[in-house]
Amino acid sequence: MAGKKDSILIASPLISCNPFCAELKEKGLPYDSVWMQIGHVIRHLDLGTCLSHEQRQMVREAFDEYLKLLPGRAKADVEGLGRDFLGEIDKLKRTGVAKALKLEQDFNAELLTAVSKNLHQLCLIIGKVDPCGMIESLKADTLKSIKSARSRDEILNIVEAGFNDLHKKVKTSQEKMEISLESLLVLESNAIIDKLTGIFNRRFFDQELPKIVETFFDKKGKVPFSLLLLDIDRFKEINDTFGHFIGDRALQRVAAIIQNNCRAGIDSPIRLGGDEFALFLIGTNEANAVKKAETIRQEISKRTMSFTQRETDAAPHDVSFMAQVSIGVCELDISWKDKAPNDLNRNPLLGEAADDSPISRLTRMLAESADQALYRAKDTGRNQVRAFRQG
């Protein structure tokens, strides 16, 4: 029975350790002992992941050395050496597992550090806002790549490459946003600047006057505000006599004089359209606003508008004429908040406003009052400054 068992062990292709059993038999060693298990371990040594290549080679060499010690020994000694050898292999495996675990821990720490560092940098760049799902895309692409990676170094390279690509996308997106913002600012600036004179236009007047009135209202009128409305006298005659090209040059000269009398960053010169201008004077009461208006009026009326033929490129000869302006001045009064528009001006020139909020009413009353003052300046002889008087 024993011979039959031996032949089965040697011949059967289903027994994975047959070559070792055969080798043990050829050397006269007990192939039916613990060394059969050892042979099986040696055969499948390369399938283990916890031993390095050097350690696997060391085990094979030790196996060959142990085999040299077995011939002539008693079965108990052979079994004891086998158990000792298995113990050495087990010790190497435990050491390999600990080393592999340490490598995994170090790798995970390195990976998390790389991810954390890059995410921190990205948050600083994009202000904790994910543009167009870029980070979600990075996570999906990175996980997909990591699954097919063959080593830790390859995984780290994939993560770093993913973040580098995202950095470039965010930078490009940021640059595009900055360009778009600059373009919007240019468009906005162009939208509130009068092309002919280079000062603010009617759109600025309509947008900013309610805001100024609201600030005045919030501060309970403690910071004065005055509005100037200016109109060039008999401007139609200038256009009819010298042409619209010269008329445009005259408008530019008047705008320049108004602007030169402004405090930078405080006063706002505005061309309302045609030959009509306005001036916002923040922190200026009626008395000082009248002085400012008078200075502007005198500079315009005393300065001859002279244009050479080369300068105008339109008239057949040099052109000179005098221009005059009428100016209406009105200081905003906080007490108007309790008045009706018709109580302030008996013959209002402006139509009824759809918005009847306090700010809207005060804005309308201010513009209406400055306009009344301007018309009085024109009706009483032109080329003069008139302040608004209630009634």
Q: Which two tokens stand for residue 283?
A: 């922190």
Residues 175 and 231 in one domain: no
Plot region of 127 (φ>0 → left; ψ -120 to 50 → alpha; else → beta): left
Domain residues for 170?
130-191
Is there a domain that residue 106 lies in? no
Clarify whether residues 158 and 225 are in a common domain.
Answer: no
Does residue 332 fall inside a structural domain? yes
CATH number for the domain including 381? 3.30.70.270
Query: At which of 140, 158, 191 does a domain end?
Result: 191
| Residues 213 and 253 sit within 8 Å (Cβ to Cβ) | no
Query: Do the domain assignments include residue 292?
Result: yes
Burial of 79 (0-12, 13-18, 19+ CB in 10 A): middle
Q: How many domains does the chain have?
A: 3
Domain assignment present for residue 107? The answer is: no
213 and 292: one domain? Answer: yes
Whole-number pLDDT of residue 14: 38
Could you list the pLDDT tens digit for every one of the 391 residues in the chain? 444 444 333 333 334 455 666 666 666 665 556 776 676 677 666 665 566 777 777 777 777 777 777 777 777 777 777 777 777 777 766 665 556 656 665 665 566 566 656 665 665 555 545 555 666 666 666 666 666 666 667 777 777 777 777 777 767 766 666 655 555 545 455 688 898 999 999 999 999 999 999 999 999 999 999 999 999 999 999 999 888 888 999 999 999 999 999 998 899 999 999 999 999 999 999 999 999 999 999 999 998 888 876 666 655 678 889 999 999 999 999 998 888 777 777 655 444 555 678 899 899 999 999 999 999 999 999 999 999 987 5
Q: How far apart are CA 379 and CA 324, in angstroms?
A: 14
- Per the rule left: phi > 0, alpha: psi between -120 and 50, beta: everything else, 256 is alpha
- Whether 238 and 159 share a structural domain: no
The answer to whether position 121 is within a domain reads no
* The domain boundary residue, chosen from 138, 171, 191: 191
DSSP 61: H
Same domain for 33 and 143, yes or no, is: no
